């Protein structure tokens, strides 16, 4: 059964955050004591939550905890077989990632105000707190080594360092170490500040993230929102995620007809307001919607009111009793995911074992759906409110003094404001200006450094000008037949005998050796002499490096064929050439191509074609520390062609 439930849990959406609250200083005697202690702790936590989350409007799921006892562990076994009674919660935050960080804030407050609680929090990306503090992490920290090592204790972040590089740690061991030796796992000031800066300002920030406006709504919707304002979130999401079936429900407006509309003050989060404002919708006039002209001051309240009313209509149309899943779109999508994950193990459909697994899946889905406040459950709640909610429609129609709508200019952000926001987040980067006086040679040197920089398997890093640890090419010309063997270990001397039980591998030297092979070029003119100190001379000295004559001839044929084809075109005239080079005085009318100037010209033309938008040139130049001044790229290109 445990494996079955693990399969079921793996089918959930990716926009979730999981949190675990442990009591490592408490000794549990039996299942009853576990239940009693966890429920008592849960009441204390709920007081902290209520105090710090007043007026908070959740985008999807709120912060909620459930006790997990030893009996529950029989249904959901930990991968390490390491279980300790705790409080568990999972929330989906949808499109509003601010909910995720507000939950982190609540966890910090809980561990600060209630002694003896250690919290752990992860999401679909794993230890996402470390992502926020990535610039300050120790070298050993990566997704593999940090598993079960990141916790929140006494309002601070703790990262347990490993004794050995490949050492793993269980949750129980981590909890013991944090409580006994908290100073050994207390993270650095920079890491602490990275997380605290992300959650600072709460709970005062809650009001800053809200946006209030007066909408023209069906009186039923106005009454429901007046009774339970949090229902605005699922209504907005239902409207923005509507499909063709939902659109048909909006044409009927069976439950919230447009004939009885009133003005009502409605509060959104800024995320919800932006979603509703930017979701385009033209209502069907046959339904009874009559919108004022676009230039009318009441157009916004009418338009947004139509959209929100349609969201409520969609939710009610999806209402299903809790046990009904056959007509639930979410259930069928969930069942499809289970089949893709081979949950039913190729069992014959409708067989006894198959039906047992199917019933477990239905039971888990219903419990999960009800706890996650899915559309059918919320729709059923709204449907019950339409039947049972007692309200006076005339009271809503009274001409109350309405406050002004909140300013929504925050929806638009100027490029300058965006730059300031990015600088405050990541710091100001020093740029090398690129203008009409730019030296093409210096530019191509930076470009070459960037392209030659060696990156590891975990991703590319842009080289700094002061980089000291860049890989150095090993000396060439080592004979394979000589007694001195080439070792790819920086700690091994050439005359040492390698250990037969170990493979010494220096990735930097290997990369450079591979680059040497890739740098091999066939000269396009046999009459041109190669310098004795060129890269090719080292290959000539190595007697063991023999290239097949057939291969050389083939390549030469291709090169000659390419030259003949290009000779008939004017492509050569498009290159910038060096004015005068003494090395080629003996070659009549020959002006070699200025490689540096052409590289600069091509990059600038690419940047110019972006017309201010993001593109390959700006993406490459920015991290290299090269800044193009506005309007100068055209001047540089023009100058390079003169």
pLDDT of residue 93: 92
Residue at 423 is within a domain: no
Higher pLDDT, 578 or 3: 578
Domain end residue (candidates: 544, 574, 604) = 574
Express each pLDDT in 515-531 by its tens digit. Answer: 555 554 444 444 444 44
The pLDDT of residue 607 is 76
Instruction: Please name which of 52, 62, 128 lies closest in space to residue 99, comparing C-alpha atoms.
Output: 62
Pairing state of beta strands 118-123 and 86-92?
Answer: unpaired
Q: Considering its fold, how many domains does the chain have in total?
A: 3
Are 20 and 156 part of one and the same domain? yes
User: Do 58 and 111 fall within a single domain?
Assistant: yes
Report whether pLDDT(192) > 90: yes
Q: What pLDDT, on the 0 to 100 scale, is given for residue 484?
A: 40
Task: Give residue 581's pLDDT.
Answer: 56
Across the range 397-411, mean pLDDT stands at 85
Alpha-carbon distance of 409 to 83, in angstroms, equals: 51
Q: How confident is the model at residue 191, as a pLDDT?
A: 95
Mean of all residue pLDDT scores within the chain: 78
Find the mean pLDDT for residues 396-420: 85
Query: Starting from the edge strand earliest in sequence, which strands make up the sheet with 66-68, in order?
Result: 66-68, 86-92, 16-22, 118-123, 150-153, 156-159
**Any domain includes 263:** yes
Mean pLDDT of 492-501: 42
Separation CA 462–CA 412 (nearest Å): 32
At a CB cut-off of 8 Å and minimum separation 6, what does 554 contact?
none
Distance CA 558, CA 290 (A): 72
**Per-residue confidence band for 439, with pLDDT thresholds at 50, 70 and 90:** low
Higher model confidence: residue 33 or residue 305? 305
pLDDT digits (tens, 9 = 90+) for 614-642: 788 777 776 666 666 655 545 554 554 44
Amino acid 451: pLDDT? 67
3-class DSSP assignment, residue 262: strand
Q: Are residues 43 and 127 in the same domain?
A: yes
Range of the domain at 347: 209-409
Q: Which of 272-286, 555-569, 581-595 has the lowest mean pLDDT?
A: 581-595
Is 174 contained in some domain?
A: yes
Is residue 178 located within the same domain as residue 131? yes
Residue 594: CB partners within 8 Å, gap ≥ 6? 440, 575, 576, 577, 578
Domain boundary among 150, 178, 199: 199
Q: What tokens does 591 get?
A: 């002006």
Q: For 574-585, what is the mean pLDDT? A: 62
CB atoms within 10 A of CB 227: 12
How confident is the model at residue 402, as a pLDDT?
A: 80
Q: Is the pTM of this model over 0.85?
A: no
| Residues 48, 28 share a domain | yes
Residue 563: both structure tokens together: 């030259």
**Spatial contact of 35 and 17, defined as CB atoms under 8 Å apart:** no
Residue 414 in any domain: the answer is no
188 and 222 together in one domain: no
Average pLDDT of the residues in 468-495: 40
Q: What does the pLDDT read at residue 106? A: 97
- Average pLDDT estimate for 133-147: 88
In a domain, 20, yes or no: yes
Q: Are residues 570 and 459 in the same domain?
A: yes
Whether 94 and 44 map to the same domain: the answer is: yes
CB 380, CB 321: distance < 8 Å: yes
For 218-235, what is the HEC assignment?
EHHHHHHHHHCHHHHHHH
What would the pLDDT profile of 49-64 be if each residue is shown by its tens digit?
A: 999 999 999 999 999 9
Domain co-membership, 323 together with 391: yes
Q: Are residues 398 and 459 in the same domain?
A: no
Query: How far apart are alpha carbons 533 and 193 in whole angstroms?
Result: 53
Ramachandran angles phi, psi of 20, nearest 5° = -130, 130
- pLDDT value at 480 more than 70: no
Q: Is 107 or 141 the better-scoring residue by pLDDT?
A: 107
Under the banding of pLDDT at 50, 70 and 90, the label for residue 322 is: low
Per-residue confidence (pLDDT) for residue 225, from 0 to 100:
96
Coil vs helix vs strand at 130: helix
- What is the per-residue pLDDT for 492? 38
347 versus 159: the higher-pLDDT residue is 159
Query: Is the residue at 173 inside a domain?
Result: yes
* pLDDT band at residue 578 using 50, 70 and 90 as cut-offs: low
- Examine the domain organization and report whether 163 and 294 are in the same domain: no
> How would residue 472 be classed by pLDDT, with cut points 50, 70 and 90?
very low
| The pLDDT value given to residue 199 | 95
Residue after which a domain boundary falls, among 574, 596, 620: 574
């Amino acid at each position: 059964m445990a494996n079955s439930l693990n399969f079921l849990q793996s089918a959930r959406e990716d926009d979730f955050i999981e949190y675990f609250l442990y009591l490592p200083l408490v000794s549990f005697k039996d299942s009853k004591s576990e239940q009693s202690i966890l429920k008592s702790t849960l009441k204390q936590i709920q007081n902290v939550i209520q105090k710090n989350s007043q007026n908070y409007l959740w985008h999807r799921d709120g912060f909620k905890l459930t006790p997990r006892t030893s009996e529950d562990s029989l249904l959901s076994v930990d991968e390490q077989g390491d279980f300790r009674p705790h409080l568990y919660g999972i929330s989906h935050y949808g499109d509003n990632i601010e909910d995720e960080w507000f939950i982190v804030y609540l966890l910090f407050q809980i561990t600060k105000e209630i002694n003896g609680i250690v919290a752990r929090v992860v999401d679909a990306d794993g230890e996402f707190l470390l992502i926020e503090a990535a610039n300050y992490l120790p070298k050993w920290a990566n997704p593999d080594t940090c598993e079960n090592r990141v916790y929140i204790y006494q309002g601070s972040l703790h990262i347990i360092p490993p004794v050995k590089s490949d050492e793993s740690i269980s949750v129980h061991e981590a909890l013991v170490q944090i409580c006994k030796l908290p100073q050994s796992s207390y993270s650095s000031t920079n890491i602490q500040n990275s997380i605290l800066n992300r959650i600072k300002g709460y709970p005062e920030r809650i009001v800053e993230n809200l946006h209030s406006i007066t909408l023209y709504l069906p009186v039923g919707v106005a009454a429901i929102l007046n009774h339970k304002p949090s229902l605005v979130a699922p209504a907005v999401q239902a409207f923005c995620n509507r499909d063709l079936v939902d659109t048909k429900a909006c044409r009927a407006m069976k439950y919230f007809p447009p004939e009885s509309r009133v003005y009502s003050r409605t509060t959104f989060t800024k995320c919800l307001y932006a979603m509703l404002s930017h979701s385009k919708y033209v209502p069907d006039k046959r339904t009874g919607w009559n919108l004022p002209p676009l230039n009318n001051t009441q157009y916004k309240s009418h338009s947004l009111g139509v959209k929100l009313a349609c969201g409520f209509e969609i939710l009610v149309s999806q209402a299903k009793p809790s046990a009904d899943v056959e007509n639930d779109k979410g259930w069928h999508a969930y069942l499809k995911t289970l089949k893709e994950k081979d949950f039913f193990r190729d069992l014959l459909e409708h067989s006894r074992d198959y039906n047992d697994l199917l019933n477990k899946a239905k039971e888990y889905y219903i419990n999960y759906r009800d706890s996650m406040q899915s559309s059918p459950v919320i729709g059923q709640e709204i449907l019950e409110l339409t039947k049972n909610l007692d309200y006076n429609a005339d009271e809503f129609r009274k001409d109350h003094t309405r406050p002004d709508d909140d300013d929504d200019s925050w929806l638009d952000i100027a490029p300058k404001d965006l730059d300031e926001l990015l600088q405050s987040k990541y710091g100001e980067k020093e740029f090398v200006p690129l203008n009409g006086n730019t030296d093409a040679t210096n530019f191509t040197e930076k470009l070459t450094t960037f392209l030659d920089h060696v990156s590891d398997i975990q991703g590319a890093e842009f080289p700094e000008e002061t980089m000291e640890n860049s890989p150095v090419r090993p000396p060439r010309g080592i004979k394979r037949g000589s007694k001195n063997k080439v070792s790819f270990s920086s700690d091994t001397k050439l005359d040492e005998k390698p250990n037969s039980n170990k493979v010494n591998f220096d990735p930097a030297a290997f990369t450079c050796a591979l680059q040497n092979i890739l740098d091999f070029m066939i000269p396009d003119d046999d009459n041109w002499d190669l310098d004795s100190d060129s890269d090719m001379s080292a290959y000539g000295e190595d007697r063991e490096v023999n290239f097949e004559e057939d291969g050389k001839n083939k390549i030469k044929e291709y090169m000659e064929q390419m030259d003949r084809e290009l000779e008939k075109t004017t492509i050569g005239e498009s290159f910038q050439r060096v004015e005068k080079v003494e090395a080629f005085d003996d070659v009549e009318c020959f002006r070699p191509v200025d490689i540096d100037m052409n590289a600069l010209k091509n990059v600038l033309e690419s940047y110019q074609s972006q017309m201010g938008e993001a593109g390959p040139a700006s993406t490459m130049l920015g991290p290299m520390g090269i800044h193009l001044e506005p309007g100068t790229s055209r001047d540089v290109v023009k100058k390079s062609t003169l």
